[in-house]
Structures are given as C-alpha cells and as structure tokens.
Structure 1
Amino acid sequence: MKQVFVHLILLAGLCISFGCRGQHKFRIPVWGDWQVWGDEGNGMYANPVLPGDFSDIDCIRVGDDYYGVSSTFQFSPGFVILHSKDLVNWQILGHVVDDLNNVSADLNWDRMNKYGRGIWAGAIRYHDHKFWVYFCDPDKGYFMSTATNPEGPWEPPHQVLAAKGWDDGCPFWDDNGDGYFIGTHFSDGYKIHLFRMTKDGRSLITSSDKVIYQARGSEANKLYKINGIYYHFFSEVRAGGRAVMMERSKNIWGPYEGPKQLSYAQKQFHEPNQGAIIQAVNGNWYFLTHHGTGGDWAGRVLSLLPVNLRSGWPILGSPDEDTIGRMVWQGKMPVKNSKIVLPLTNDEFNESKLNPAWEWNYQPRSDKWSLTQRLGWLRLHSFRPLESGNFFKAGNTLTQRVYRTRKNVVTIKMDIQSLSAGQWAGMAHFGYPNYAAIGVVSDTTGKHLLFKNNEVSIKGIQLTGKDLWLKSTWSLDGRNQFYYSLDGHNFSPFGAVYQLKWGAYRGDRIAIFNYNEQADAGYVDIDYFHYEYSK
C-alpha cells in the first residue's frame, strides 16, 4: 500500500497554523453564518472548506494529490469521488457506481423505496498501484471496487460481505501486503469487528473475525499504521454527543491501549466527527471531517482541522488542558499559492455526458432521458410516477447539492412546447419527505404555471409561449424564493417562501423534474442549468 502517512514522530512539537495559541485570532461564528469559507485567497482558509452535503468523508494523499469519497445514499451515480491539490479547494471528480442495481434493485426507478438507505459511508485507499474503495449498504452488506485512475472507469461493485446491519467499513494493507478490514455491526450493539481479507481484497475471511471494540454508537472506523503502531480511529456517542476516539496497539489484533478521546463532541458546531487524518505535502497533519449532526438543511459540510501530537496521540483541533481537541475556524493554507477552485455546478448540456455534480434521485430510466436527441439540450421524457401525486415516487429527477453561502441563484431555461396532458415539469428543492417546486403543468385548460409546497398548490398564469425560465434564490438562512420569466430577463416571484429542509440523512437538493400523471407521454427540453454561489 502506498502510504499517505510517514512517522508520527514528525508531529512532535509541530505548531500548525491556527493550532498554536496567539498566532491567529480564532473566528468562532454562529453555526451556518459563515461570511467566508474555504480558500480566502490570502494564504489563509476558513472553515467550512466545502459548505455542501459531502457526508461520511474519507480522504487519502497520493503524491501531491488528495482524493476523497462521500456517501450518496439513493442517488445515482453512487459514491462520489472528490479531488484536491491542497485539502481546501475541492472538485467533484466522478462516481464509483454507475448502476445502483449492482448494489440493490431497491435503488432502481421502479421501486424507489430506500430513502435514507443505499450507499452509506466507506473508505478510499491506494494499494498495489490501484485505487480501492469500500462502502456499505445497510441492507445488503459491504461492497468494493477498484480503478487505475480515480476518474474511472471503476469496476462494477463486488459484494465483500452479504449481511444486513453493517456500516462504516475500512480496508487496511500491512507492510507485508496482508489485507484486513474493519467495520461496525450496528444492528448487534455497534460491535466493531476486524477481519482478514483474501489477497485479492474481494472477500472477508469470516473465520478470522474478532470484535475489538464496542460502545454506544461506535462506528466511523479507520485503520492506520504509523511508525510501527496500529491506530484504530472511530467515533462513539458520549454524554456530550458524538466524539472522536482512538485506540492503539503494537499488534493489529490487540490488545489495544485506550481509547483516547481526540476531540469534543461540540454540538454547537454540529459534531465534527467522521473523516480522515492526512499528512499534507508540507509535512503537517490535518483532519478532514464532516459535521455529523443531522437536521441542517445544507447537509453535513466539510471542515479541515489541524492535528497536534500530545503524548503520542493525534489531537484534532486546538488541544485544551485535558489534551482534547476543539474546533478551529481559520488557518494557513496547507499548500502555498494554490489556485482557488470551486465545485462545478453549471451545465450547458453541450457535452456527451452530464457534468459530475449531477446525481439522479434513484437509478434513472435510461431510455427516458437524452443529451443527443436535441444537441445542446437535456431532454427528459415523461412517464407516470409509481404513486400518483407523489413527487418522491417519480423517476428521472436530476439533482445537485446546494451550498450554504451568502448568495445562491439557480436558473434554468425550458422549452415547454412538447408537453402532453397530465405532464408536470420544472425545478424543485427537496429533502425527503418535504419539497417545494415551480414549473408548468398541462391540463384540460392548457399549460399553466404551478407552485407546490408538499400538498399545497398555487396555480398561476396560462403559458402560451414556447420557452419558460425558472429561478431559485436563497442565502445563508436557507429561505428559498422561486421566480419565473417569459423572456429570460424580467423575473417575477411566484409561490410562498420555502425553508430548505434536511431529510433522510441528506441536506436539501435542487432538482430538475418531469413526470406525467396520466400517461407515459410528453417531454421537456432543458437548455441550461446555471448555479452561481458566493465565495
């Protein structure tokens, strides 16, 4: 395995930017009210480094590049791959799982019954000149895939363990090439199990199974070997909330010393608790983490914390007198003079594939959408939802994450001339089981503007033209207002203000949708999707 770590002793005496008292004035914002985030362009960065829903993050360094993975639940393609040159500026590189049916048939458009399930947390590693990812489906077990290049193509996911009730697994290859796997059996009291793996990494040797830890909610597992010592990283629920923990041993099977608490739960900062410890190119060590408390409409955003050594333990954030870490909000960039890079959101639909920010709500019906039937446009064909009137049972809904920044504006242009009776198409925000949408509906009286907020509907003007522009705006408070335009220049608000919501372990998503309550008929063409957000 190409290790991203060298000797832990390098951490001794290390003072990492904002980890040192008196070096910078710490900025402690009210949660969600971050006027700046990520790379500040002056050699400093501010947390969060990515204010969007990238839950269950894991990360490695290979050479001068950093690669992250994040859970995607029922969205397709699944298990997102991120890339950075400095741990602060991140781009979406691609996904591992093109067809969710290779994980579970319940994730297909004709079932759509696994909100909050699907692809959960996993890990990425580099071993034997390949990238390896492992992830879990809580109802199906553990899966793995490999690729020579992180952009893909990735091999179809292979089932490593077919069992229900497992999560948060991570592979580990020792210096001699022996493979191991650690994971939590959450349905059996959150016992953490260690297995040997077969040499090809495609199966667990179940006869080697050993429970090495158990506590309330113990999961978020990672295994590291640093300077000859095995470190088991995890989190558990303590009196103050979910906290990051670690135990260590000279033998991978134990006995393990600890556990040692590495940071406080910090519920006021939404519990930074699951992620990866990485040594940067500059020799400093960092903790890339999501903020794991649910309920935030933006989802589980990412922050980067310094790592400081205390008595041989890597403390996450700024250590206090009890050698337990606290959240920090600003620091020096891990790489000097790096370029500010933002996740791509816009799509002109001029390419042969969608940009990597897109994910469908469940595996889409492949014959019902196209980028080639009208060049430069996305065509969405309508078909009936699995349940009449149920937005969450309508296939081919195309989505992106939203970001929590000072200003967010999404605009789409639609050609609505080919709608059929019963068709309803437009733009939506959703966090299961809540949504709000604006669009055009075709009924017996013609085409009309329509706004829906769950079961509340407001019918608007009749639409007689060919084109319709829709817009959504929101700010740090997550209060969304929809607009429409008949000429692409003059926009009018329509519908009530909608508070973006968290649902099914995910933050709010913005979506383009299209379905027909009466028949598999009609289509809508989308010329572009523009999403501008503040830096």
Structure 2
Amino acid sequence: MKNKLLRSGLLASVLLFRCLIAVAQTAHNPIIFADVPDMAMIRVGNMYYMSSTTMHMSPGLPIMKSKDLVNWQMVGYAYDTLASVDALNLTNGKSTYGRGSWASSLRFHNGTYYVTTFAQTTGKTYIYTTKNIEKGPWKVASFSPSYHDHSLFFDDDGRVYLIYGAGKLKLIELSADVSGVKPGTTEQVLIENASTPSGTGGGLPAEGSQLFKVKGKYYLFNITWPKGGMRTVVIHRADKITGPWEGRIGLQDRGVAQGGLIDTPDGKWYAYLFRDFGGVGRIPYLVPVAWEDGWPVLGVNGKVPETLDLPASKGLIPGLVASDEFTRKKGDPALPLVWQWNHNPDNNLWSVSDRKGFLRLKTGRTDTSFVMARNTLTQRTIGPESSGATALDVSNLKSGDFAGLCLLQKNYGLVGVKAESGSKSIVMVSAGSGKPVEVQRVPLSQKTVYLKAECDFKDRKDTAHFFYSLDGKTWTAIGEPLKMPYTLPHFMGYRFGLFNYATQKTGGFADFDYFRITDNLAPKK
C-alpha cells in the first residue's frame, strides 16, 4: 500500500510539474501590457516586424521586431522629427498632444520596407522607406492631404493604393515610386458605409483600415464602435480591389479590436488587435484565426482566449522599456531606443556627456506649465504594475526651477524638487482634478534626493503613489494617490518622465544619476 501511495504521489507530482512547465511555456493575453496601439505587422522570413503610434513623441513611429509574435524589442524609429513647427516644438504656446503622427501602415515589397503615417498637425501623409528596417537609414516622401487611417497596399499587378477614411472608405492610387498620388488619378468610394455589418445607429464609424490579399481575395479589416455597444472588428472581402465588397462582424468581445492578419512560417494565422485598458493605455492582443468558407474566423468560439499556443512572454524589460544608468561607452547612442521626448526636444539643452554617468537637463527658457515645458524624457509605464525611480542632484537648480520624476498624461503627477528664494523643497504635485495642485512639500537640505513613482494597473485600478528618499534605501510616501484616467486630449497611456523646467530665470540644470524601472512594486509594510 505504501508503495502504491508513493507511486501515486510521484505520478501526481510529475503531472503537476508538466502542467506548470506547459503554463510557463504558454503565451498569455494581452501579449504586451503597455501602450502599443494602432499596430501594423508584417513577417519577413522568420522575423516579425511591427510599427505603432506614439503621436507627439520624438523620435516617432517606433519599429519593433520579434521571432515569436510575443517577445518584442525596439529596433528603431522611422523619424527623429516629424516636422519643426510650433505645435511639435512646444513653442509660442502651442502643443500637439494627442495628435502628431497617427496609425501607420507597414509593408515589405521588392526588397524595400515601407512604413506610412499621417498627421493632422501638419496636414500631410508620410511615406518612409528603407532597405534595412533594423538599421535604416529611412528616406521620407510627404504630400497633402493627410489620408486618415490609411492602409498602404501593393497589388499583384504592380499598382499601389491607399485605402482610407472613416465610415465612407475610399481608394486612391499612388505613383509607382510611392512618392505621392498618381497624376491624373481621382479618389473613389470603396465602401459607402463600412460600419453597416455592426449596425449604423451612431457610434464610431468604421476606420483603422488594414488591407490584405490571401489566395486571390481581398480582406479589409476595420474597427467600429456601435452606439451602446463595444469596439468591434468588421471585415469586408472582395474578388477585386474596387469591389463589390461584402462585410460581416469579425469579432465582438471585450472591446478587443483594430488591427489585421499575420501568418506564421508553419501556416498558422492570427489577428493582432488591441484593447483600451485605462491608464496604462491601449494594449495588444493576439487572437487565433481559422479559415472557413473563405472568411477569416477570429477567436475561440468567438471569444478572445486567455492563453495562446505561442512561447511565453519573457517580460517587457528590456525590450520595450529599460533601466538606464546613463553611462555611455564610445560608439553608444546618446539615448537607448526605449526613450522618447515629449514633443521635439531642444538638443542644446540636454546631455549625457557633460557629466559622466548622468543625464543633464538644462533650462533655456521659462515656462508656466509642466505640460508646456520642453525636454521631458519619457518611457512607457507597463502593467499590471510598474515602478520608476531616479536619483537627482539638485545642487545646480536656480530659483524657480522644478526638476524631478513625472507620470505624464493630462491628469499628471509629479514628485520633484523646487528651488525658491535660496531654499529647496521636495514637492508632490497632482493634476488629478484636471488642474495642478501642490499637495505636499518637505524641506530639503542636501544636494541629492531619490524619487520614485509606483503604478498599479491591475483590474484597471489605475492608481499611482509617489515617494522620496534621502538615502536611496528608506522611502517615504509624499502627497496623495494619483488616479490615472486615460484622457483623449493626450490619447496615450501614462508615461514615466524625467523633467526640469524654469519659471523665473534660465541657466540652471538638473543631473539625473539613473532611471530604474521594475515590473513589480515594493511590498507594503
């Protein structure tokens, strides 16, 4: 009996161990718990590439790569600066929060990579091209107008098109070199109302076009949001690009929508989509696709699965976000790809070489508002929880300067050091009400202070807490919890940021020793 019990126990242990291994090797939705919206995706050989939206950030139009559709890393940006105009430069009282460049289209054709976008800020459509998507360089062609949510498409007969619009979807032909609209061509209506399969009674009209050709048929993916309903995938198909088109609902579950199709080298198909998920932003999902009667059928019994038959995620650090000690070896880029500036930076006012091992943010003008200050350096927050911390040398702040660590969105939160009338204070500011309020200040009598922000996005809790330390070991909460709603004026998930701006006089500077990001929070005492 003892031997039987022992064997049964061993068998149960083996089965449990195998089960745990299987779970550990399985991917889970969302595949990226961070703000990576409006994805466009291609496969070239065994490598996948993805572009996304970062709007008013610089550099912009991020390019990522993956070998397994789950674990992604940054490889570059299509542009350093979209354009030099007041709204993108945060000059003359103008900004372009929530605008800049929007949804991109990514293609590989005849040995060239194409990534396209459009910008309400400039009124233009942009076509970026390169032979080497990972190293560049990128060339750009731009033209008017700004074709909304367009899909670039190379047809088998050599003709090139953009499909674009909202509700009423249109087709325009481009020149063979993809540098602009083909001379003499006129736009034509492709689908009068692409929202029809999900109902036409108001709501968000069908947009976010992505066009694919599979086995001779054309498949057009769009998102719509019926009034009183949820974000919905609508798919149309046709035998000719000019139609006629027939449509149906492709997926209606948990608001997971907008994206397109991708296949694997071994013949599996997935839809890449995203979901609005509160303060962390718009987060990517993968949904298995089966083909039935010439239609792509999304999901498992019409639902988005929790698990996928793909390798498990290894985490988003350091592929999409990463710590930075600001030490640079010869030949290193000044900033790793995980960093983006809030709007275009003034490159004369920051450095990682003025003081070895530090990021220096200098002031060159006075500002009255944090969101209008230049040279805030940002990274994504990540879910379900994350923290960002920095060490700051404030000995060179001038009176009126404010430097520190932020969580950037319309309803932002700041913890930093204010210099005023010969003294300095650690200050927490909350714009949780929509307007900035100084919640707490603590006198500071030393030159170095440690700052930390912790974010909890579990179950859309969307709450942040701020801390300071005088020794980097013992942390003290400051201010009040910050609720982090996703707001359309900024149209972006919350971002960690390092900032320094002047309110009285210029010439001061702040030295940041490091930025350290984790995907867990310190245990509560």
TM bucket by the smaller chain?
0.7 to 0.9
The aligned counterpart of 2:11 is: none
Q: Equivalent of 1:241, from 200, 220, 230?
A: 230
Looking at structure 2, the residues matched to 402 and 338 of structure 1 have their Cα atoms a distance apart, in angstroms, of 17
SS at match of 1:222: strand
The aligned counterpart of 1:16 is: none
The aligned counterpart of 1:9 is: none
Structure 2 counterparts to residues 338-487 of structure 1, below 5 A = 342=317, 343=319, 344-351=321-328, 352-386=333-367, 388=368, 390-405=369-384, 407-432=385-410, 434-454=411-431, 455-475=436-456, 476=458, 477-487=461-471
Q: Equivalent of 1:219, from 202, 207, 210?
A: 207
Summarize the Cα distance change of 1:329–1:367 in structure 2 as closer, same or farther, 3 Å threshold.
Answer: same
Contact 2:38–2:258 (CA under 8 A) maintained in structure 1: yes
Shift of 1:534: 4.3
Matched, 1:494 2:478: yes
Summarize the Cα distance change of 1:49–1:382 in structure 2 as closer, same or farther, 3 Å threshold.
Answer: same
Shift of 1:41: 6.5
SS at match of 1:83: strand
Structure 2 counterparts to residues 250-261 of structure 1, below 5 A = 250-256=239-245, 258-261=246-249
The aligned counterpart of 1:10 is: none
The aligned counterpart of 1:62 is: 44
TM-score, normalised on structure 1? 0.84
Residues 365-420 of structure 1 deviation map (CA, whole Å, 9 limit, x = unaligned): 1101111111221110023355x1x1111111111111122x42211011111111
SS at match of 1:114: coil
Shift of 1:425: 0.2
SS at match of 1:496: strand
Matched, 1:127 2:109: yes
Residues 5-52 of structure 1 deviation map (CA, whole Å, 9 limit, x = unaligned): xxxxxxxxxxxxxxxxxxxxxxxxxxxxxxxxxx98733111001010
TM-score, normalised on structure 2? 0.85
Contact 1:73–1:120 (CA under 8 A) maintained in structure 2: yes
SS at match of 2:83: helix
Matched, 1:304 2:283: no
Structure 2 counterparts to residues 256-275 of structure 1, below 5 A = 256=245, 258-264=246-252, 266=253, 269=254, 271-275=255-259
**Structure 1 consecutive aligned stretches of length 4 or more whose deviation exceeds 6 Å:** 337-341
Higher mean displacement: 51-60 or 310-319: 310-319
The aligned counterpart of 1:88 is: 70
Contact 1:449–1:460 (CA under 8 A) maintained in structure 2: yes
Residues 483-504 of structure 1 deviation map (CA, whole Å, 9 limit, x = unaligned): 1111111111111111123122
Summarize the Cα distance change of 1:356–1:309 in structure 2 as closer, same or farther, 3 Å threshold.
Answer: same
The aligned counterpart of 1:331 is: 308
Shift of 1:442: 0.5
Residues 439-485 of structure 1 deviation map (CA, whole Å, 9 limit, x = unaligned): 10100141111111123214533222221111111222232111111
The aligned counterpart of 1:27 is: none
Shift of 1:144: 1.0
Contact 2:128–2:141 (CA under 8 A) maintained in structure 1: yes
Looking at structure 1, the residues matched to 39 and 137 of structure 2 have their Cα atoms a distance apart, in angstroms, of 19
Looking at structure 2, the residues matched to 178 and 480 of structure 1 have their Cα atoms a distance apart, in angstroms, of 51
Contact 1:430–1:500 (CA under 8 A) maintained in structure 2: no
Summarize the Cα distance change of 1:339–1:283 in structure 2 as closer, same or farther, 3 Å threshold.
Answer: farther
- Sequence identity of aligned pairs in percent? 30
Matched, 1:532 2:518: yes
Shift of 1:58: 1.0
Contact 1:41–1:340 (CA under 8 A) maintained in structure 2: no
Letter of the 1:127 counterpart: H
SS at match of 1:107: helix
Summarize the Cα distance change of 1:370–1:518 in structure 2 as closer, same or farther, 3 Å threshold.
Answer: same
Matched, 1:175 2:156: yes
Looking at structure 1, the residues matched to 361 and 22 of structure 2 have their Cα atoms a distance apart, in angstroms, of 39
The aligned counterpart of 1:15 is: none
SS at match of 2:290: strand
Looking at structure 2, the residues matched to 327 and 98 of structure 1 have their Cα atoms a distance apart, in angstroms, of 36
Looking at structure 2, the residues matched to 128 and 372 of structure 1 have their Cα atoms a distance apart, in angstroms, of 41
Letter of the 2:388 counterpart: V
Looking at structure 1, the residues matched to 208 and 508 of structure 2 have their Cα atoms a distance apart, in angstroms, of 46
Shift of 1:93: 2.0
CA-based RMSD of the aligned residues comes to: 2.2
Contact 1:181–1:204 (CA under 8 A) maintained in structure 2: no
Matched, 1:514 2:500: yes
Matched, 1:79 2:61: yes
Q: Equivalent of 1:158, from 141, 145, 151?
A: 141
